[in-house]
Structure 1
């Protein structure tokens, strides 16, 4: 196995490596990591060798999936990828050595490299995988206790990744985020739980806007807040 990978490294370096644009995948979903290579439709596929690798946190190459001798060779597969990968040998005749990664986790983020050797060429193709998760609909709470002539507004949300950008605007559209307090804590899955609060004077009418952005996913949640306070009638 090590000898095979070494040979592909050397030859592909001579041909030049291809790096695709980052691929964005949703947490918990399945994703296809593309890898193509020159292959004539009428040539055989018996000698096609495919090795998908990724560097781990220590910088060592970890086998994600490998295929040669006309079958999957998973003895050296990294434990984190057990029962979560698939390639499609029937697609080799089309020059397709793509990898299916199932049930994507946050720790799957990183650069994946595909090494392919066949009867004609040896190629190297890399793709950067970015994992994201959308934030759930924010919930709003009011707290009037222990606030002398002030109102505490609190927005909470969860389930998102990576950490979000939070913004508060006043009625005129001016940024007042510096007057707010926001905490973002990772849960056991690594996704974030958000709590953002701000204290406003208890005037008759309030009009503010809360904005949450997950820029990696291009998710933007905008929630206007309007509060009307009624003065109790005097007898």
Structure 2
């Protein structure tokens, strides 16, 4: 009896597609997709009953997709294709301050481990969506998503902000929120620091311009004196 499980429609058509092979009474792993190593098995006691189901452990985001099973014996052949949907809830949003940005204070929201890709949203204290750039999306080595969303805020009456995660889980949507409060003193410290830095840069620029102008003036004066002395010598 032969039971052969493999992936269908992988992004790389040249890659190995076998997930699990059972043949001649034993499992064979010589050409198994590397990411499935040590994670696949069959229900051996059920094979005689016609159950050729595949068991996946330590599920990963990369397991999402189509699978095909071929069953073959001396008297029987059959195949079936199924779609596997992986669902993993991302971590609760983690918030941090990025520091002073043009237009206000930069805030960062991060969620890790979700699948499929979750959505992040910044809200003010009244639940109004804040302006933010596009999400930055990456995937870890297991295929789970790492999503980041940045926004820039100004001081408000409450300085209270929220990052909300929306995660689609089959027929329902799950929301998770993390609230964040920034003290006015912190915003002022960052603002004053930025202003001081700007003032220092402007002051240094003015000093450099003055030094450069004085240097050019001195150079021109020396050149003129040298030219005058040369003409006097030629006249004598």
Query: Which of the five TM-score ranges fits, normalised by the shorter chain?
Result: 0.5 to 0.7
Q: What's the RMSD between the two structures over aligned residues?
A: 3.5
Matched residue SS, 1:156? strand
Residues 1:139 and 2:94 aligned together: yes
How far apart are 1:219 and its partner, in Å? 4.4
Q: Deviations over 1:80-119 (max 9, x none)?
A: 4443321122112332111122333443332111122457
Structure 1 contact 50–116 (Cα < 8 Å) conserved: yes
The TM-score normalised by the length of structure 2 is 0.59
Residues 1:213 and 2:158 aligned together: no
Matched residue SS, 2:156? coil
Residues 105-120 of structure 1: pairs in structure 2 closer than 5 A: 105-117=60-72
Structure 1 contact 171–208 (Cα < 8 Å) conserved: yes
Structure 2 contact 39–57 (Cα < 8 Å) conserved: yes
The separation in 1 between residues aligned to 2:164 and 2:142, in whole angstroms, is 24
The TM-score normalised by the length of structure 1 is 0.59
Relative contact order, CA 8 A, sep 6+: which one is greater? Answer: 1
Q: Identify the residue that residue 157 of structure 1 maps to in structure 2.
A: 111
Q: Identify the residue that residue 203 of structure 1 maps to in structure 2.
A: 156
Residues 1:180 and 2:132 aligned together: yes
Structure 1 contact 204–228 (Cα < 8 Å) conserved: no
Unaligned runs of 5+ in 2: 189-236
Residues 42-191 of structure 1: pairs in structure 2 closer than 5 A: 48-55=1-8, 56=10, 57-58=12-13, 62-117=17-72, 121-142=76-97, 145=100, 150-176=104-130, 179-181=131-133, 182-191=135-144
Q: Deviations over 1:23-59 (max 9, x none)?
A: xxxxxxxxxxxxxxxxxxxxxxxxx432212234217
Which structure's CA Rg is the greater one? Answer: 2
Closer, same or farther: CA 158–80 of 1 in aligned 2, 3 Å: closer
Matched residue SS, 1:205? coil
The separation in 1 between residues aligned to 2:64 and 2:152, in whole angstroms, is 38
Closer, same or farther: CA 138–175 of 1 in aligned 2, 3 Å: closer
Matched residue SS, 2:17? strand
The alignment covers a number of residue pairs equal to: 181
Matched residue SS, 2:91? coil
**Which structure shows the higher helix fraction?**
2
Matched residue SS, 2:58? coil
The separation in 2 between residues aligned to 1:71 and 1:196, in whole angstroms, is 49
**Which structure shows the higher strand fraction?**
1
Structure 2 contact 62–142 (Cα < 8 Å) conserved: no
The separation in 2 between residues aligned to 1:132 and 1:75, in whole angstroms, is 29
The separation in 2 between residues aligned to 1:193 and 1:100, in whole angstroms, is 27
